[in-house]
Structure 1
Amino acid sequence: MTTGKTAASAATSPSEVASLYKYLRVTDVADAMDGIGYFDIGLVSRDVRPLWRGMKFWGEAATLRCVPANRPMWKLDSTEDIVAAHGIWFEEVGRPAGLGDLPPGHVIVTDGGGAREVGFWGSMNAMAAHANGAVGIVTDGYCRDTAEIELQRTPVCAAARGRTIIPGRIEAIEAQVTIGCGGVQVRPGDIVGTDDDGVIVVPAEIAGEVAVHARAVLIADMHARRRVYEKLGRKPDETVDIEAVEAYYAGK
């Protein structure tokens, strides 16, 4: 098997490294990080979880830092203005540059800044981010419209479900900077992933090595589980499809 150092040098960009994580479980990655001495590093708060079962993604981090707004939204004069409240707010306070032209495959990681209940992410803007190439969104704040998020299968992990809108409650002030999310440092280009067990962040400098060790953990576990499947007479499924995993990683 290729060594971690060789794999890291062969995968020269974060997107190439992220491809090494395709089949990995969060637990495989956590085991690999433990194995090289990164105990409990990258474990995003257990409060930050997928909003629907079966969600899984891996990608390079694109970061967004938010803070609580220091002024309320002003009173609006008409139904039309209320419908257009977000546009009016952003015209006044602006938006940070840096997330508009990202390559496909990124994960938008959002530092909610401790703002009170506010649906910074919702069914429309999260779906639009997904359509524009984000493989996932992670926030230690709130997400609203969560029934629609699940119906759309929009990949959002959030700490809580919210009801209110952005104007007057939260401002996005910086993009593509080092942030904290769920108690973990996240930098642009770090590898971020989730599944039903939670969210993990792998620092970019160890991501190639971690992927190699985690792959070995996964394949060993698949062999062990398939032997038990056979003993029980259980029909094999994709979680014990060792051949597919080994074929994908051949030469990587």
Structure 2
Amino acid sequence: MSTGTTDTSAASASGSELAGLYKFLRVTDVADAMDGLGYFDIGLVSRDVRPLWSGMKFWGVAATLRCVPSNRPMWKLDTTEDIVAAHRIWFEEVGRPAGVGDLPPGHVIVTDGGGAREVGFWGSMNAMAAHANGAVGIITDGYCRDTAEIALQQTPVCAAARGRTIIPGRIEAIEAQTTIGCGGVQVRPGDIVGTDDDGVIVVPQEIAPEVAKHAKAILIADMHARRRVYDKLGKAPDETVDIEAVESYHAGL
């Protein structure tokens, strides 16, 4: 079982600073900036991969996990205790890669589901635990289960589908912190990943600073235009037109 060969130490050192440049940006601002740099449609994760609850927004540094369908079934368990402990028993047998469990705060766990059939690789418990351990978000082009609890907890998960079944006998995590494909997009450790209600986007780390600069200008211009319309309508300003907050934040970076 491989743990990948990508060295992410340098990317991790600057990754949190890069992600900080994206704090106020919308996915649309970033997509427009990438278009302007000639990166047409690069980084646009499949529209099937979406936030599981409205209002979710995060930006962070990609930490990658590659999964494949299992080629062996889960064996019959004989006691209630073993059935409750099915995940532990499965992982003790098949193992799982190192590399995603001990990461600095601010990462986004991007998961390649490997085309496995319906299986809730992420659910309300392990996703919440990952969030508690510093992940600002989780993205998978596979399934997530316990989705009502995910929404209630406000655990930041984007998934392609809602599932019902558990991991044993269906899917194996085999490699971490390596280049993967997720929702039709290449993702490497250290790339910048974000989401909001419009979808998910991946920014290659090499262009992330320049994209952030242009995307900020796009956002500020849009905020000015929208605030003029707010004023015309007599509508009270809200955080989406709080230009001063954005400019003050960036002035402090």
TM-score above 0.5, yes or no: yes
The residue type paired with residue 45 of structure 1 is S
Q: Specify the code of the residue in structure 1 equivalent to 2:193.
A: V
Deviation at 1:101, TM superposition (A): 1.2
Indicate the residue corresponding to 2:140 in structure 1. Answer: 139
Please name the residue that 2:105 is paired with. 104
Which stretches of structure 1, 4 residues or more, deviate above 3 A after TM superposition? none
* 1:3 alignment partner in structure 2: none
TM-score normalised according to structure 2 size: 0.95
Instruction: Report deviation, 1:251.
Output: 5.1
SS of 1:65's partner is strand
* Secondary structure, aligned partner of 2:114: coil
The match for 2:250 is 249
Counterpart position of 2:3: none
The equivalent of 1:158 in structure 2 is 159
Corresponding residue for residue 57 of structure 2: 56
Aligned length: 242
Asked if residue 181 in structure 1 is aligned to residue 182 in structure 2, the reply is yes
Amino acid at match of 2:200: V
Identity %: 88
Give distance in 2, aligned partners of 1:251 and 1:243.
12
- CA distance in 2 between counterparts of 1:113 and 1:32 reads 30
Stretch moving more, 11-20 or 63-72: 11-20
Aligned counterparts of 2:169 and 2:229: Cα–Cα separation in 1: 56
CA separation of 1:172/1:12 partners in 2, compared to 1, >3 Å: closer, same or farther? Answer: closer
The answer on 1:118 being equivalent to 2:112 is no
Compute the displacement of 1:165 (Å): 0.1
Aligned to 1:214: 215
- Write the distance in 2 (CA, Å) between the matches of 1:247 and 1:84: 50
1:65 is the counterpart of 2:66: yes
Q: Distance in 2 between matches of 1:100 and 1:119?
A: 19
> In structure 1, the residue corresponding to 2:96 is in which secondary structure?
coil
SS in 1 for 2:30: helix
Q: Distance in 2 between matches of 1:15 and 1:250?
A: 17
One-letter code aligned to 2:248:
A
**Within 2, Cα distance between the matches of 1:101 and 1:149?**
22
Provide structure 1 residue ranges, at least 5 long, that are not aligned to the other structure.
1-10
CA gap of 1:194–1:78, structure 2 versus 1, over 3 A, is same
Map of 1:170 onto structure 2: 171
1:37 match: secondary structure: coil
Report the Cα offset of residue 237 of structure 1.
0.3
Q: Which residue is 1:198 aligned to?
A: 199
The CA distance in 1 between the partners of 2:164 and 2:102, in whole Å, is 29
Distance 2:160 2:85 in 1: 27
Report SS of the residue matched to 1:189: coil
Q: Partner of 2:227 in structure 1? A: 226
The one-letter code of the counterpart of 2:134 is G
Structure 2 distance, partners of 1:98, 1:235, is 47
Deviations 1:157-201 (A, max 9, x none): 000000000000000000000000000000000000000000000
Amino acid at match of 1:200: I
Distance 1:133 1:224 in 2: 36
- The amino acid of 2:164's aligned partner reads R
Question: How far apart, CA to CA, are the structure 1 residues paired with 2:20 and 2:244?
Answer: 18
Q: Output the CA distance in 2 between the equivalents of 1:17 and 1:126.
A: 24
C-alpha distance in 1, partners of 2:170/2:99?
22
1:42 aligns to what? 43
Deviation at 1:250, TM superposition (A): 1.0
Counterpart-to-counterpart distance in 2, 1:205 and 1:109: 18
Q: CA RMSD in A?
A: 1.0
